[in-house]
């Protein structure tokens, strides 16, 4: 999102992010404090720190990388708990900086964003928030209620559309999602809209049905624009922790995921999974969410996130 925000809005957001990450940072820093009985960094202490990082959902690869960075200059030397957290924060920021990329629109009109993810991940809410953000930035936005399987999802998207003052293309429950996406893209083209956001179903319990539906949507919208979608966003719920890895794998197999949005960081002690995902998949993280309002979804800032995670 290329949004111009006032300094006071930014400060408010940073405070909400820090508060939102409290559960995760307390879990991590509490573990570090609990095992910091010695002042000298030896192998036993490194192993304990690595286990604490894995337990905080940073994953084995990231935990190994962080403890190696710590050992590189400080092994067998005196070190404080605060210094450990500072070194970890700096290494986490190094992991996250390459993936911290705001969601920007191409010159093509409309820029088509396909939004995917499991039910309950916050897809529909995220679409509503993105719509509000881009509308505030002066863009013309349309929404497609492509989760035709759930009446609640359609109604929720209509509410967000009204709130943002943007048009929502919707059909009756059970309607063909691909046909709806086609109609929405045709309408967005006719109205010369800047952005079309397409919601989709997320019924992972039957992957073959979902895959068939997503692939049909892709085939159909490409009849109108061979390059659509220009962005495929996977929305992940931070509270799922390590399950987020399998969701990325599954959806990457279904369609070409181009970026991630991580929601519900405020309701989770598993926010460390975002670092593990960045390390493993290298996919852009466009935004993170720490609450229900449109202002609670913001572009991802690697340095701020790393420092808040380690409480430094």
Q: Contact 57/92 with Cβ under 8 angstroms?
A: no
Residues 145 and 213 in one domain: yes
Q: CB within 8 A of 170, min separation 6: which ones?
A: 144, 145, 154, 157, 158, 180
Whether 104 is covered by a domain: the verdict is no
* Residue among 113, 107, 147 at smallest CA distance from 129: 113
pLDDT of residue 6: 63
- Residues constituting the chain: 312
Tokens of 245: 């890895």
Instruction: Pick from 13-27, 40-54, 263-277 the range whose average pLDDT is largest.
Output: 40-54
Strands of the sheet containing 285-289, edge to edge, are: 167-169, 141-144, 195-198, 111-116, 231-237, 259-263, 285-289, 297-299
CATH code, domain with 207: 3.40.50.300
Same domain as 213, residue 288: yes
Helix (H) or strand (E) holding 91: helix 81-96
178 domain residue, yes or no:
yes
Where residue 4 falls among pLDDT bands split at 50, 70, 90?
Answer: very low
Give me the domain span that covers residue 131: 111-301
Q: Which of 99, 125, 140 is the last residue of a domain?
A: 99
Q: How many domains does the chain have?
A: 2
Distance CA 232, CA 229 (A): 6
Can you tell me the mean pLDDT for 263-270? Answer: 83
Residue 197 covered by a domain: yes
pLDDT in tens, 224-251: 999 999 999 999 999 898 899 999 999 9
Where residue 76 sits, what CATH number does that domain have?
Answer: 1.20.120.140
Q: Answer whether 0.95 is exceeded by the pTM.
A: no
76 and 119, same domain (yes or no): no
Whether residues 18 and 46 fall in one domain: yes
Are 120 and 184 within one domain? Answer: yes
């Amino acid at each position: 999102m290329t949004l111009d925000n006032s300094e006071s809005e930014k400060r408010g957001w940073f405070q909400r992010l820090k508060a939102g990450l409290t559960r995760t940072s307390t879990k991590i820093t509490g573990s570090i404090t609990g095992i910091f009985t010695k002042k000298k960094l030896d192998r036993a202490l490194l192993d304990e720190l690595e286990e604490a990082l894995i337990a905080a959902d940073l994953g084995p690869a990231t935990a190994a990388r962080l403890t190696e960075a710590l050992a590189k200059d400080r092994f067998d030397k005196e070190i404080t708990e605060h210094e450990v957290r500072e070194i970890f924060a700096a290494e986490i920021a190094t992991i996250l900086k390459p993936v911290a990329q705001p969601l920007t629109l191409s010159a093509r009109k409309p820029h088509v964003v396909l939004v995917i993810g499991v039910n309950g991940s916050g897809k529909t809410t995220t679409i509503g928030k993105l719509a509000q953000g881009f509308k505030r930035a002066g863009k013309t936005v349309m929404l497609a209620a492509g989760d035709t399987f759930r009446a609640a999802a359609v109604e929720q998207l209509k509410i967000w559309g009204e709130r943002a003052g943007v048009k929502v293309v919707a059909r009756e429950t059970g309607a063909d999602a691909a046909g709806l996406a086609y109609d929405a893209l045709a309408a967005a083209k006719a109205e010369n809209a800047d952005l079309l956001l397409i919601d989709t179903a997320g019924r992972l319990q039957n992957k073959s049905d979902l895959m068939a539906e997503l692939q049909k949507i892709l085939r159909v919208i490409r009849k109108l624009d061979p390059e659509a979608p220009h962005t495929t966003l996977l929305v992940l719920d931070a509270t799922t922790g390590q399950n987020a890895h399998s969701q990325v794998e599954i959806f990457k197999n279904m369609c070409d995921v181009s970026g991630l949005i991580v929601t519900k960081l405020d309701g989770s002690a598993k926010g460390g999974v975002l670092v593990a995902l960045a390390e493993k998949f290298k996919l852009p993280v466009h935004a993170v969410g720490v609450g229900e309002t449109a202002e609670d979804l913001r572009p991802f800032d690697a340095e701020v996130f790393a420092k808040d995670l380690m409480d430094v």
